[in-house]
């Protein structure tokens, strides 16, 4: 029984479990797939028309074959060659037309699959761009990529063949059944035993197979996630001589993925041969009882031949459908993962009356803020901060103190549990996220460069940036001279996140990108950690001039680089324990002084 809350409502946990079961239901998944297919109704109609006409023509073959046999054996030595030739020619014509239609059908199915694949990948990627930052903090990149590539390919491999193959098989089964009833209804009684047996067995295997395919998709995603992590950390792996451990870890993930794949395929493969055995059993019974009827004059030889051919056409598609159901379990398991990703809740929408944050001055205030990534663990406690426009605020503290979390709250990557954050006396929850984030320029410790020219990478922050503006920003970031030493200068192509250049040079390019954006506030989260101290001081001096009359937030571990900050906040365990200028904090001889002098101690 479901848990009931007040007023008879289902509890949130039970509602969530119900929704999970619903999304795992085949009917629900097929309904979602139909939304993609229904966008191409004309294409589907043409495919179904080709399936119908092509199969009806093919179904005439056994009947014509039986008539040709009867024309041969009317009387000994009196074969009607004209009739045999007539029926044979018709068979050839019908089979050729049917083959041409099947070829056209295959081409149309490829086109349909391409369109659906494109739409599904577009929807998945579009959804990814709307998901909150917290989603990516808890998911492996490789697993997400596995959904975009492998799972969508698996779904559409079935869409391009399996679903319409089922329609084709159903037409063949119904058409064959009608023809067999016309020829000899008594022989059709055999299938009253074999067909239910095939259906019951197929349903039994389907229930066993689908969880195995779901496991296969999950294990493949885990393997891709592990491989992506280890490939990103190749230098660290080799520096610490951990190749053997990494290989051993991959072997475990690979073995789990291979075993899951093998278990699913083996279980699905059982269905085809088993149903084929049942169908062959029905063919044997048709031959035996047909022969008895022929001996007793109850049926002609040509009709027996036609009935046998129709029985094969009748039982063959049933076998094919059984095999297809095995493949569809893989497709439905993959579709389940795709739709779960598409259905992930987007970043909460802005308030209905949210306004655009414009004419920003840069007065930032944080009042009594509490926050935790999970409800049971509060990281930031009663946090207060006042940052007047044009000030440089430095946030320092030990690892895990909550420094980066404060930046996440300022940018609304996460929402506070309680308290208030304002910009120019406007609550950040009363303005749109887009205008809020556009008011900041952000440079992180983790640099990000994309495949493209150096010019494109620096100009990424400002639409329609000119060459002169990009060069000016690069000079201010002290990366211009290095760029000019490259063979193609600003047209040099970077690839694979800029692995061909040093981390320091990548950092300088991201800083140049930030300098190009004319925003009112600047956030530097360990942004100069990959450059030497002298260059860091030069960049900060250049940034100070560039960001004059703008509010700056700097998170730094090298405390010697923030001596000129207007206010230094010392964060410990999510709370501000000290604040003031550099000299003031040193005179207090408190936690800041301890952090500062520890960086100059010699052990």
Nearest Cα residue to 128 out of 112, 144, 149: 144
Query: How confident is the model over 469-485, as a mean pLDDT?
Result: 87
Flag whether 485 is in a domain: yes
Nearest Cα residue to 473 out of 506, 517, 441, 439: 517
pLDDT on residue 422: 92
Tens of pLDDT, residues 442-468: 887 777 787 788 898 888 888 788 899
pLDDT on residue 330: 74
Flag whether 357 is in a domain: no
Write out the two tokens for 302.
Answer: 């040509």
Cα 83 to the center of its chain, rounded Å: 61
Flag whether 240 is in a domain: yes
Flag whether 2 is in a domain: no
- Looking only at the bridges linking them, the beta strands covering 418-423 and 364-371 are antiparallel
Domain containing residue 183: 14-342
Tens of pLDDT, residues 542-556: 666 666 777 888 887
pLDDT score of 383 more than 70: yes
Residues 86, 28: one domain? yes
Query: Of 209-218, 391-400, 487-496, which range is least confident?
Result: 209-218
Q: Which of 460, 491, 518 is the last residue of a domain?
A: 518
Residues 140, 103: one domain? yes
Bigger pLDDT: 380 or 81?
380
Exposed, middle or buried, 336 (CB in 10 Å: 0-12/13-18/19+)? buried
Q: Which of 518, 541, 566 is the last residue of a domain?
A: 518
pLDDT on residue 421: 92
Tens of pLDDT, residues 208-257: 777 787 788 788 878 877 877 777 666 567 665 677 888 888 888 888 88
pLDDT score of 348 more than 70: yes
pLDDT score of 22 more than 60: no
pLDDT on residue 487: 84
Residues 492, 587: one domain? no
Residues 435, 367: one domain? yes
CA–CA separation, 24 and 19 (whole Å): 9
Identify the CATH number of the domain in which residue 556 sits.
Answer: 3.40.50.300
For the ranges 19-23, 469-473, 536-540, the maximum mean pLDDT occurs at 469-473
In the three-class reduction of DSSP (H, G, I as helix; E, B as strand; rest coil), residue 146 is classed as helix
pLDDT on residue 16: 47
Residues 407, 510: one domain? no
Residues 402, 485: one domain? no
Bigger pLDDT: 405 or 330?
405
Q: Which of 496, 518, 540 is the last residue of a domain?
A: 518
Tens of pLDDT, residues 100-111: 888 888 888 888
Identify the CATH number of the domain in which residue 330 sits.
Answer: 1.20.1560.10
pLDDT band for position 130 (cuts 50, 70, 90): confident
Is 270 within 8 Å of 205 (Cβ atoms)? yes
Residues 398, 327: one domain? no
Flag whether 356 is in a domain: no
CA–CA separation, 234 and 229 (whole Å): 9
Angle 152-159/162-183 helices, nearest 10 degrees?
30
Tens of pLDDT, residues 269-290: 776 677 777 777 777 777 777 7
How many other β-carbons are positioned within 10 Å of the β-carbon of residue 479?
Answer: 25
pLDDT on residue 602: 44
Flag whether 570 is in a domain: yes
Flag whether 296 is in a domain: yes
CA–CA separation, 436 and 178 (whole Å): 69
Residues 110, 218: one domain? yes
Per the structure, the count of domains in the chain is: 3
In the three-class reduction of DSSP (H, G, I as helix; E, B as strand; rest coil), residue 108 is classed as helix
pLDDT band for position 74 (cuts 50, 70, 90): low
Flag whether 350 is in a domain: no
Residues 29, 147: one domain? yes
Residues 376, 512: one domain? no
* Terminal-to-terminal C-alpha distance of the chain: 65
In the three-class reduction of DSSP (H, G, I as helix; E, B as strand; rest coil), residue 479 is classed as coil
CA–CA separation, 592 and 578 (whole Å): 7
Residues 158, 197: one domain? yes
pTM of the model: 0.67
Residues 514, 527: one domain? no
């Amino acid at each position: 029984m479901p848990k009931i809350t007040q007023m008879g409502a289902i509890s949130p946990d039970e509602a969530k479990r119900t929704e999970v079961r619903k999304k795992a239901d085949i009917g629900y998944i097929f309904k979602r797939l139909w939304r993609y297919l229904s966008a191409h109704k004309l294409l589907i109609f043409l495919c179904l028309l080709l399936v119908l006409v092509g199969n009806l023509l093919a179904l005439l073959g056994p009947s014509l074959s039986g008539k040709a046999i009867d024309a041969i054996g009317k009387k000994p030595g009196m074969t009607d060659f004209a009739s045999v030739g007539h029926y044979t020619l018709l068979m050839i014509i019908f089979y050729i037309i049917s083959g041409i239609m099947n070829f056209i059908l295959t081409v149309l199915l490829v086109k349909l699959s391409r369109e659906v694949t494109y739409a599904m990948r577009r929807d998945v990627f579009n959804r990814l761009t709307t998901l909150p930052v917290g989603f990516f903090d808890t998911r492996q990149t490789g697993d997400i990529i596995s959904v975009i590539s492998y799972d969508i390919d698996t779904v559409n491999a079935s869409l391009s063949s399996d679903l319409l193959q089922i329609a084709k098989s159903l037409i063949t089964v119904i058409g064959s059944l009608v023809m067999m009833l016309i020829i000899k209804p008594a022989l059709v009684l055999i299938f009253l035993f074999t067909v239910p047996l095939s259906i019951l067995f197929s349903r039994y295997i389907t229930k066993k197979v689908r969880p195995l395919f779901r496991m296969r998709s999950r294990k493949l995603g885990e393997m891709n996630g592990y491989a992506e992590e280890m490939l990103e950390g190749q230098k660290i792996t080799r520096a610490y001589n951990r190749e053997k451990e990494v290989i051993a870890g991959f072997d475990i993930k690979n073995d789990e993925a291979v075993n899951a794949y093998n278990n699913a395929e083996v279980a699905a493969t059982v269905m085809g041969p088993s149903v084929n055995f049942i169908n062959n059993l029905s063919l044997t019974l048709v031959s035996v009882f047909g022969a008895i009827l022929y001996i007793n004059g109850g049926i002609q030889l040509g009709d027996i031949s036609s009935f046998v051919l129709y029985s094969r056409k009748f039982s063959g598609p049933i076998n094919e459908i059984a095999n297809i159901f095995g493949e569809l379990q893989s497709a439905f398991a993959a579709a389940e993962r795709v739709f779960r990703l598409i259905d992930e809740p987007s970043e909460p929408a802005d308030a209905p009356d949210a306004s655009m944050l414009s004419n920003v001055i840069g007065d930032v205030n944080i009042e009594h803020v509490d926050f935790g990534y999970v409800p049971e663990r509060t990281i930031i406690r009663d946090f207060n901060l006042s940052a007047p426009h044009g000030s440089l605020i430095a946030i320092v503290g030990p690892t895990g103190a909550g420094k980066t979390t404060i930046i996440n709250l300022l940018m609304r990557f996460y929402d506070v549990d309680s308290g208030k954050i304002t910009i120019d006396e406007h609550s950040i929850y009363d303005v749109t996220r887009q205008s809020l984030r556009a008011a900041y320029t952000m440079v992180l410790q983790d640099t990000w460069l994309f495949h493209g020219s150096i010019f494109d990478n620096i100009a990424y922050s400002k639409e329609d940036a000119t060459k002169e503006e990009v060069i000016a920003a690069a000079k201010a970031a002290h990366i211009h001279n290095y760029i000019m030493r490259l063979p193609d200068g600003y047209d040099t192509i970077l690839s694979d996140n800029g692995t061909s250049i040093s981390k320091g040079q990548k950092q300088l390019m991201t800083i140049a990108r930030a300098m190009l954006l004319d925003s009112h506030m600047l956030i530097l989260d360990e942004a100069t950690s990959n450059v030497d101290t002298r260059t860091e001081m030069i960049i900060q001096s250049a940034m100070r001039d560039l960001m004059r009359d703008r509010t700056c937030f700097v998170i730094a571990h090298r405390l010697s680089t923030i001596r000129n900050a207007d206010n230094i906040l010392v964060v410990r365990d999510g709370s501000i324990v000290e604040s003031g200028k550099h000299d003031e904090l040193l005179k207090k001889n408190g936690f800041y002084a301890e952090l500062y002098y520890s960086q100059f101690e010699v052990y």
